[in-house]
Amino acid sequence: MTAGGAASLAAATGGSAECGTDRPDWVEPLAAVLVRDGQDRRPATTLERADRIALRYASFLRWLERPHDAPGCVVCLKAHDWPGQFLFHTGQPTVVVAPQGHGKTNAASYLMELALGHRREWDVFTNVPFPWFEDLRGAVPAPPRLFAVHSATELMAGIANTVLQDRIPAVVLDESGQWLSSHDWRSGGAESWTKFTYVERHFRTRGPVLVYHTWKTVLEPLRQEGDLRGSYCRVIKVRGKYRIARVEDRSRWWVVEESALPYLTLGLRGFDMDLDFKELGSHLSGSLTAVAQQALDYLRELAERRAAEADQAAEGARDAHEAAVTNRNAAMARRDDAFEWRNEEIVRKFVEHPETTNGEVRGHYRTNIGGPLLARLRAEADRRREQVGGTG
């Protein structure tokens, strides 16, 4: 996959992307979800196209089940033409920039497709919304070795477990500008992520590949060439074909085909920076497996600490609620006592001075006491006068 073209996945797998005769039961619901997701695309996703995409995915899954002949694989033979391996540098992020609607998520999915198909020793972690992670969880099979992550703690747990299984973690994160932007790169979360680019080297992580809409939102440290960043690429369209072009060396570009991994354009791509990587890094030392176990131990302790804090917060909230209810009840009781005292005073005034008008009562208490209430109080005063008169 050098400048001038790219070997297709179908060619590399002997036509694995063809539909074949096997039609799993889940093809129809997957196609229906893709039609609904792509109804606002231009052009909109038709049922025929969605069905073809679903069948390509089924063929891709069948191909993944077969042994991989790396020495005879066209894609593997040309993998050295890519920076890193398919842009997955070891311990260095790759920044991919493409405007909305210019194939950035397809490019990210295509890179994952290459990794899953031709680097069988890798586990791939991503926040790209695939149907088997969302609408069709449990109904459509997910590719082996592809995992959904939506937080830094989930990502680090996955990376550490992969290392302990003597495998290689690789990371692709879409819509990075939504949660990791140059506009707030000095914030706690962004600074923590910068530390991740150093921490990940302990785990020999491939990537992460970070996908942005615009260059200006790329995290400030990643704009600089050097050890921190592996590659900076753009997704461009040339003669109707999308390419990933390396900005550092414009002679190097690779054709991006339609990915065999059908993704959702309207799915959730969030990623929560809920981990302080600087603090995590201070707990790591030793061999690859040692730091992986240390990371899991740290995450377990962090989860226990957060659970305890949540329990304390919940208890505090319960206490605050009970205190608020008690205060509210006491205030209502004081209010009722005040109303009772005022009404009794009005009744006494009516008893002693029956000629007192409602307006005089309202003026004396500086409040707009309702007519029906005053009528009831006047009736009570009349009753008391009658009782006094009858007794006399």
**Average pLDDT, consecutive stretches of 10 residues, N- to C-terminus, the chain (392 residues):** 42 42 89 89 85 96 91 80 86 88 90 95 96 92 96 95 97 77 53 77 91 81 70 88 86 89 82 88 93 96 92 86 89 88 89 88 81 88 83 56
Q: What is the 3 state secondary structure string of 174-219?
A: CCHHHHCCHHHCCCHHHHHHHHHHHHHHHHCCEEEEEEECCHHHCC
| C-alpha separations of 87 from 11, 97, 188 in Å | 21, 13, 28
Alpha carbons within 13 A on the beta-carbon side of 76 = 12
Residues 248, 368, single domain; the answer is: no
What confidence score (pLDDT) does residue 2 get? 44
Residues 170, 263, single domain; the answer is: yes
How far is Cα 190 from Cα 252, in angstroms, rounded to an integer?
A: 30
Residues 259, 326, single domain; the answer is: no
How far is Cα 92 from Cα 203, in angstroms, rounded to an integer?
A: 12
What confidence score (pLDDT) does residue 21 get? 57
How far is Cα 188 from Cα 180, in angstroms, rounded to an integer?
A: 11
Residues 248, 349, single domain; the answer is: no
Which strands form 253-256's sheet, in the order they lie side by side?
A: 146-148, 122-126, 168-173, 206-212, 94-97, 231-238, 241-246, 253-256
**This model's pTM is above 0.85:** no
What confidence score (pLDDT) does residue 195 get? 78
Residues 159, 86, single domain; the answer is: yes
Residues 276, 153, single domain; the answer is: yes
Per DSSP (E only), the strands in 98-151 are 122-126, 146-148
What confidence score (pLDDT) does residue 43 get? 77
Query: What sections of 260-352 are H helices per DSSP?
Result: 277-281, 288-352
Residues 273, 332, single domain; the answer is: no
Domain final residue, candidates 263, 282, 301: 282
Residues 246, 358, single domain; the answer is: no
Beta carbons of 34 and 131 less than 8 angstroms apart:
yes
How far is Cα 256 from Cα 244, in angstroms, rounded to an integer?
A: 7
In a domain, 238, yes or no: yes
What confidence score (pLDDT) does residue 391 get? 60
In a domain, 37, yes or no: no
Close Cβ partners of 183 (under 8 Å, ≥ 6 residues apart): 217
Residue 169 corresponds to which tokens in the numbers above? Answer: 């973690």
Alpha carbons within 13 A on the beta-carbon side of 51 = 8
3-state class of 378 per DSSP?
helix
3-state class of 357 per DSSP?
coil
In a domain, 121, yes or no: yes
Domain final residue, candidates 282, 301, 330: 282
Residues 266, 334, single domain; the answer is: no
Could you list the residue range(s) of the whole structural domain that residue 341 is in?
322-391
Residues 88, 234, single domain; the answer is: yes
Residues 226, 370, single domain; the answer is: no
Domain count across the chain: 2
Domain final residue, candidates 227, 255, 282: 282
In a domain, 33, yes or no: no
How big is the CA angle at 98 (ends 247 and 239), to the nearest 5 degrees? 80
In a domain, 289, yes or no: no
In a domain, 298, yes or no: no
How far is Cα 280 from Cα 152, in angstroms, rounded to an integer?
A: 11
In a domain, 103, yes or no: yes
Residues 91, 234, single domain; the answer is: yes
In a domain, 42, yes or no: no
